Amino acid sequence: MTANASASGGAPAVGPPPRTAAPRGVPGARRVDHLALTVPDLDRAIDFTVRVLGGELVYRLPPLAHDDDWMRTHLDVHPRAAAEIALVRLGPTTNLELFAYRSPGHRAVPPRPHDVGSVHLGLYVTDVDTAVSALRDRGPWRPYGPVRTVPEGLPQAGSRWVRVTTPWGMPLELRSVPAAPPSERHGPARRFGPCARWHNRDDGSGTADPLPGARNVDHWACTVADLDEAQRFFTEVLGAELVHRTTADLTDPGLAAALGVPQGGTLHRAALRMGPTDNVELNCFPGSPGARRHWPRNSDVGGNHLALYVDDVDAAAAYLAAQPGCTVLGAPETIPDGPLAGDRWVYVRTGIGLYVEVVRMPDGSLPYERGTAARRRAAGGERWWER
């Protein structure tokens, strides 16, 4: 692919009838529960995701800290680290968990897009130019370059995209796609989206105005050291479905600038479908000069994890513990009290560097719901392979 193909994405909600594939992946997985990101300033991150992007603050938890080895055992951070945590609902499908750490020795500089472990979010919008204009009006958020269009002959031909800055140094991608991208003509896999609307509730109350034409989070993307290894982990272990793979020439200075990476080399990408409501993109920049090769810690700015909602946390943890390179951090725990009482969860450090959480919320309401009409996106009756 050319540089423009770097933002190919978002299949429309139309297409062949729903299908159910043979089960594989994490047992009892229903959907991606949340995407998590460590930011330098929690207040600024909440302001951006709510006021600028039109998200809804669901809850902000009391500070998390322990005077024993709990933080190291369960979160793989310094034992004296302390974290503030908030959850923002982004559109109809996505829970975004924001962390801000105070920790000895943590990295305060966010990873660059070509560094291993770097992540970004993409939003589906109906008109990229209009959304960029609105973003400029809501703050000093500059595009990396002009809006680009994916040319003919590529899997997402006709898609338009641009990346813009965020307060915490992570790129945000705005993307629109044609009604029937070529990637859908070559196999049964379909990317999720777009949704009919952004607001979580019928009246949109409790939420800020979204960007014009915003429909949903289009994708979560991460940079990996080895694309083949990462793709195998996502498809064979987590149960993702490959949509397409592409390669881009980064000797084009305009493309490199649009992606926020050094000129030269190549970008290899795999686009994947993750369960009923999410897309993941895996990016690899082999030979990129000066790139970091180690995944950030959870306490580092730019630290991140991907959480899956499962029926049985203990069974999911046992399955992941048996996978090569995976280490379960401690043992599954159930939160005994507070806003999320009854939530059972555990983190897993994987062989590719990514942290994966498996989580199960209790049946019925959570305590935080007593004080707000905002709701995290629940799994409901969804199943991983039902679309």
pLDDT digits (tens, 9 = 90+) for 339-372: 999 999 999 999 999 999 999 999 889 999 999 9
Share of the chain above pLDDT 90, in %: 78
Of 222, 210, 121, which is closest to residue 174 (Cα–Cα)? 121
Residue 97 belongs to a domain: yes
Answer yes or no: is 384 within a domain: no
Domain count, the chain: 1
Tell me if 376 is assigned to some domain: no
Query: Is pLDDT of 182 > 80?
Result: no
In a domain, 382, yes or no: no
Task: Report, as an integer, the average pLDDT of 16-21.
Answer: 41
Burial of 64 (0-12, 13-18, 19+ CB in 10 A): middle
pLDDT at 13 over 80: no
Q: What is the pLDDT of residue 1?
A: 34
Q: How confident is the model at residue 203 (pLDDT cuts 50, 70, 90)?
A: low
Average pLDDT over residues 74-89: 98
The per-residue pLDDT for 301 is 97
Query: In which band, very low, low, confident or very high, does the pLDDT at 201 lie, cut at 50, 70 and 90?
Result: low
The predicted model gives 309-327 an average pLDDT of 98
> What's the rounded Cα separation, in Å, for the pair 4 and 214?
21
The answer, yes or no, to whether residue 281 has pLDDT greater than 50, is yes
Tell me the pLDDT tens digit for each residue of 234-269: 999 999 999 999 999 999 999 999 999 999 999 999
Give me the residue label for tokens 């991208």: 181
CB-based contact 38:299 (threshold 8 Å) = yes
Above 80 in pLDDT, residue 96?
yes
On whether residue 378 sits in a domain, the answer given is no
Output the six-digit token pair for 24: 């594989």
Tokens 């806003």 sit on residue: 339
Instruction: Provide the 10 A C-beta neighbour count for residue 143.
Output: 16
Q: Is the pLDDT of residue 44 over 60?
A: yes
Report yes or no on 365 lying in a domain: yes
Average the pLDDT over 119-131 and give the result: 97
Distance between terminal CA atoms of the chain? 29
Residue 202 has what pLDDT? 61
Rounded to an integer, the average pLDDT of 42-69 is: 96
**Average pLDDT over every residue of 206-220:** 90
Helix ranges (H only) for the chain are 42-47, 70-75, 128-137, 227-232, 253-259, 313-321
The pLDDT value given to residue 207: 66
- Whether residue 377 is contained in a domain is answered as no
Say if residue 20's pLDDT is above 60: no
pLDDT greater at residue 183 or residue 360:
360
What does the mean pLDDT of the chain come to?
90
Q: pLDDT confidence of 190, banded at 50, 70, 90?
A: confident
Overall residue count recorded for the chain in this entry: 387
Q: Is a pLDDT exceeding 70 seen at residue 88?
A: yes
C-alpha span between 345 and 153 (Å, rounded) = 44
Asked whether the bond before 194 is cis by omega within 30 degrees of 0, the reply is yes
CA distances from 342 to 28, 302, 334, 348 (A): 18, 28, 6, 20
Q: What is the pLDDT of residue 387?
A: 76
Q: Which comes out higher in pLDDT, residue 113 or 155?
A: 113
> What mean pLDDT do residues 104-115 have?
94
Q: What is the pLDDT of residue 23?
A: 53
CATH number at residue 258: 3.10.180.10
Token pair, residue 117, equals 């472990």
User: Is the CB of residue 18 less than 8 Å from the CB of residue 264?
Assistant: no
pLDDT(380) > 50: yes
Domain span holding position 112: 3-371
Is the residue at 307 inside a domain? yes
Task: For the chain, give the percent of residues with pLDDT over 70.
Answer: 92
Q: What does the pLDDT average to over 157-174?
A: 93
Residue 384 phi, psi (nearest 5): -55, -40
Q: Looking at residue 101, what is its pLDDT?
A: 98
